[in-house]
Amino acid sequence: MAEIDKTPKQIVSELDEYVIGQTAAKKAIAIALRNRYRRLQLSASMQTEITPKNMLMIGPTGVGKTEIARRLAKIVDAPFVKVEASKFTEVGHAGRDVESMIRDLVDSSVQMEQKSQFKGIRSDAERRADNRIVNILVPATTADGTQKQSGVDFQNLVSMVEKMQRGETPEVPNAQSEEITSEVRDKRSATADQLRRGLLDGREITITMDDPQQDLGMNNMMGQMGIDFGTSLGQMLPKKRIQRTVDVSEAREIFIREESEKLISHGDLYHAAIKRAENTGIVFIDEIDKIIAKTNQGGEDISREGVQRDILPIVEGSQVNTKYGPINTDHILFIASGAFQDSKPSDLIAELQGRFPIRVELNDLTKEDFVKILTEPKNALVKQYIALVGTENIKLTFTIEAINKIAEIATQLNRSTENIGARRLHTILEKLLEDILYEGADMEMGDITITEHYVEEKIGEIASDKNLSQYIL
């Protein structure tokens, strides 16, 4: 969680690596985040007094609103979810369950927390997993000379349980009592060495593992019944074990996961995840303008305003129950976003407006922005395509004139058809490179340069035909 202490300037400069322009929005979001860090430095009583100032991003579609918020979460390692506000107005939506956004946030937090805890115990889990594999590959030899795998077998287990039911104390068979001959010991240490050096990868091995379907089935069933148990029921039920034949490398990953699960305390994990979501979580509510009531629409309007009223307590700060325990939403950062083409933020119900005091407008993107978006960000589209076809030994290059032409066509199309912002670049590039992507796998094409002429030839005609471009570009 150390990432949270980044200064606003550092955050903006990291955002600059991915998002072009929109400086006002980047600054505002960086300040909102810094204030949260500042708050955490205060005494507990002061902390509860200061609630985070939520933010409203206003701007047309496809200009970077979501991208800024999502990147920010990545930069500071914060749990993040995006929801469409309009989804809660849909007929049949289970009781307009707006709290689901918070539960999704906690799910994402649990995953992040689990990943970081697993990382901390990785070497321990690896050692245990390796032991299990070695024991399978080189089974212990019993006194009568037959081989058997270490561990308690099923019959033993049944008789142990029966004894416990009768109130007796069962004898726990001691794995050490198995005859491990020096020959077995030597063989095991040689195998362990081969395993560590990856020499056994690719060899098949039959393992006994937890049934992955069991948790899935249980979760689906709970979901369908709308039940949220206090703890994950899957953790409490006895695990169904199944046998599977897999590569040694895959078996190792399966065992590392199982051993990691055993090594961590789930109670601590869930507690840490809830704290993390409470203190650093970011919820992005898109299309907030779609839940503004239009006049004279009767029932539909009531439902839209109803959603605003449902969202209000969550944004104001309340407790939401999740299957990992209750979470307090007081300090979660909410970022709402909308185009507000036929409405204004002041059309939202007054209480909700008050909860989003930071307002920023995002600009429409120009042709110059498109040129930069195509080429500059770390994950720029052009770089992605170059890398993709590069896997088939094709060296793809774009001339500056070609990039300019693509940007120009995108700007024109956004004007003549619907304005979808930078999303237009995705559809244009996909169409432009269609042939190369199709034929690349079969042909030795060597170097390919995309010129202005190539761009005109491939998409010029479609772009100038309004009817056609509506469907294709």
List of residues contacting ligand ATP (CB under 6 A): 19-22, 61-67, 286, 337, 373, 377, 421-423
Residue 115 Cβ vs ligand ATP, minimum distance, rounded to whole Å: 24
Residue 417, class by beta-carbon neighbours within 10 Å (0-12 exposed, 13-18 middle, 19+ buried)?
middle
Residue 325 Cβ vs ligand ATP, minimum distance, rounded to whole Å: 32
Residue 169, class by beta-carbon neighbours within 10 Å (0-12 exposed, 13-18 middle, 19+ buried)?
exposed
Q: Phi-psi bin for 62: left (phi > 0), alpha (psi -120 to 50), beta?
A: left
Task: Please say whether the beta carbons of 289 and 61 come within 8 A.
Answer: no
Residues 6+ apart with CB under 8 A from 404: 367, 371, 452
d(CA 472, CA 60): 21
Residue 431 Cβ vs ligand ATP, minimum distance, rounded to whole Å: 17
Element (H, E) at 351: helix 350-354
Task: Please say whether the beta carbons of 362 and 64 come within 8 A.
Answer: yes
Our CB check for ligand ATP shows the closer of 16 and 210 to be: 16
Residue 220 Cβ vs ligand ATP, minimum distance, rounded to whole Å: 29
C-alpha distances (whole Å) from 453 to each of 265, 399, 431, 432 are 62, 10, 15, 12
Our CB check for ligand ATP shows the closer of 21 and 281 to be: 21
Residue 385 Cβ vs ligand ATP, minimum distance, rounded to whole Å: 14
Our CB check for ligand ATP shows the closer of 259 and 286 to be: 286
d(CA 148, CA 158): 19
Our CB check for ligand ATP shows the closer of 116 and 427 to be: 427
Our CB check for ligand ATP shows the closer of 232 and 412 to be: 412
Our CB check for ligand ATP shows the closer of 329 and 337 to be: 337
Residue 335 Cβ vs ligand ATP, minimum distance, rounded to whole Å: 10
Tokens of 52: 């985070």
**Cα–chain center distance at 148:** 43
Residue 84 Cβ vs ligand ATP, minimum distance, rounded to whole Å: 9
Our CB check for ligand ATP shows the closer of 65 and 103 to be: 65
d(CA 226, CA 398): 53
Our CB check for ligand ATP shows the closer of 256 and 339 to be: 339
Neighbours of 400 (CB within 10 A): 10
Residue 422 Cβ vs ligand ATP, minimum distance, rounded to whole Å: 3
Task: Please say whether the beta carbons of 407 and 374 come within 8 A.
Answer: yes
Residue 370 Cβ vs ligand ATP, minimum distance, rounded to whole Å: 9
Residue 26 Cβ vs ligand ATP, minimum distance, rounded to whole Å: 10
Our CB check for ligand ATP shows the closer of 271 and 423 to be: 423
Residue 326 Cβ vs ligand ATP, minimum distance, rounded to whole Å: 31
C-alpha distances (whole Å) from 456 to each of 392, 401, 405 are 25, 11, 8
Residue 391 Cβ vs ligand ATP, minimum distance, rounded to whole Å: 22
Our CB check for ligand ATP shows the closer of 24 and 264 to be: 24
Our CB check for ligand ATP shows the closer of 303 and 337 to be: 337
- ∠ Cα 241 149 215 (to 5°): 15
In this structure, the strands spanning 333-338 and 55-58 are: parallel
Task: Please say whether the beta carbons of 447 and 395 come within 8 A.
Answer: yes
Element (H, E) at 74: helix 65-75
Neighbours of 281 (CB within 10 A): 24
Our CB check for ligand ATP shows the closer of 385 and 454 to be: 385
* Sole residue written with tokens 């299309």: 287
Task: Please say whether the beta carbons of 18 and 362 come within 8 A.
Answer: no
Angle between helices 23-40 and 8-16 (to 10 degrees): 140
